[in-house]
């Protein structure tokens, strides 16, 4: 185990986690808005925002799936040491993290049951760029309409059609964070 496995966590966990959660809650409540989060310095290839979200929400009760290049020894050791989250396959994961192409196909993840639609996975999608432009978003949390640079449109439209079942998405890029809950309807522009 290397020293950088042991470093990179919150300096003041209760306060840093509280600030980070406020940002996560605000983006989830207002799809399309982008906020900055800091506090964690995870090993590459994880972004600061993705590492901060993991430290804020994950613990031994939340199975995590690492997709593509996120599934490397440095990341596995870091998550295990700092959160204790079990690393699992797609179908058992409450959180999944990686690039969009590596996370696909969407159908492999838990999307909840009709009685308990909350028992669904949250996907943390690492992005090359994250901007408030692109696909048009309509739904709860959006006054008129919003825009977000989604990796594609069809998958999110299909996800919204299954409401109240479905996946929820967090998008991370550097220290920036945005979200797309299943309640948001997506249109290509």
Partner 1 sequence: MSDYNFAYLDEQTKRMIRRAILKALAIPGYQVPFASREMPMPYGWGTGGVQVSAACLTPGDTFKVIDQGADDTTNAISIRKFFEKTAGIATTEETAQASLIQTRHRIPEAALSEDQILVYQVPIPEPLRFLEPSEVETRKMHSLEEYGLMHVKLYEDISQHGAIATAYAYPVKVEGRYVMDPSPIPKFDNPKLSMAAIQLFGAGREQRIYALPPHTRVVSLDFEDHPFEPSKADHDCDLCGASDSYLDEVIVDDAGGRMFVCSDTDYCRSRRAANHVGAQGAPYEDARA
- The only residue of 2, 6, 29, 132 in contact with partner 1, by rule CB under 8 A: 29
In the beta sheet, which residues pair with residue 147?
A: 136
DSSP 92: G
Q: Are 66 and 50 in contact (CB under 8 A)?
A: no
Q: Where are the beta strands (DSSP E) in 86-184?
A: 95-99, 122-126, 135-138, 146-148, 168-173, 176-180
Judged by CB under 8 A, the stretch of 36-44, 50-58, 98-106, 150-158 that binds partner 1 is 50-58
- For residue 36, the minimal CB distance to partner 1 (Å) is 15
| Residue number, 69 or 175, with CB nearest to partner 1 | 175
Q: Does 11 bind partner 1 (CB under 8 A)?
A: no
- For residue 115, the minimal CB distance to partner 1 (Å) is 4
Assigned token pair, 28: 């989830």
Q: Which residues neighbour 117 within 8 Å (Cβ) at sequence distance 6 or greater?
A: 111, 164, 165, 166
- For residue 73, the minimal CB distance to partner 1 (Å) is 25
Q: Does 161 bind partner 1 (CB under 8 A)?
A: no
Judged by CB under 8 A, the stretch of 13-21, 43-51, 64-72, 147-155 that binds partner 1 is 13-21
Q: Does 114 bind partner 1 (CB under 8 A)?
A: yes
Q: Are 5 and 77 in contact (CB under 8 A)?
A: yes
Judged by CB under 8 A, the stretch of 64-72, 74-82, 134-142, 148-156 that binds partner 1 is 134-142
> Would you call 7 helix, strand, or coil by DSSP?
coil
- The only residue of 2, 6, 7, 13 in contact with partner 1, by rule CB under 8 A: 13
What distance in Å separates the CA atoms of residue 69 and residue 20, rounded to the nearest whole number?
Answer: 25
What distance in Å separates the CA atoms of residue 28 and residue 133, rounded to the nearest whole number?
Answer: 17
According to CB under 8 A, which residues from 52 to 81 bind partner 1?
A: 56-59, 61-62
In 3D space, the residue among 43, 54, 47 whose CA is nearest the CA of residue 17 turns out to be 54
Residues forming contacts to partner 1 in the complex (CB under 8 A) are 13-15, 17-19, 21-22, 24-26, 28-30, 56-59, 61-62, 94, 113-118, 120, 122, 139-143, 163-164, 168, 181-183
């Amino acid at each position: 185990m290397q020293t950088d496995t042991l470093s990179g966590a919150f300096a003041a966990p209760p306060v840093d986690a509280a600030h980070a959660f406020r940002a996560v809650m605000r983006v989830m409540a207002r799809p399309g808005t982008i906020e900055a989060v800091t506090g964690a310095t995870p090993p590459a290839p994880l972004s600061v925002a993705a590492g901060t979200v993991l430290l804020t929400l994950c613990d031994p009760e939340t199975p995590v799936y690492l997709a593509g290049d996120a599934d490397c020894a440095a990341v596995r050791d870091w998550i295990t040491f700092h959160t204790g989250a079990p690393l699992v396959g797609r179908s058992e994961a409450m959180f999944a993290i990686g690039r969009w192409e590596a996370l696909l196909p969407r159908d492999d993840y838990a999307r909840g049951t009709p009685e308990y639609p909350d028992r669904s996975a949250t996907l943390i999608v690492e992005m090359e760029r994250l901007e408030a432009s692109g696909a048009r978003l309509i739904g709860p949390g959006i006054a008129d309409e919003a825009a977000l640079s989604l990796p594609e449109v069809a998958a999110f439209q299909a996800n919204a059609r299954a409401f109240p079942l479905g996946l929820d998405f967090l998008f991370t890029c550097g220290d920036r964070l945005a979200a797309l809950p299943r309640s948001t309807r997506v249109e290509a522009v």
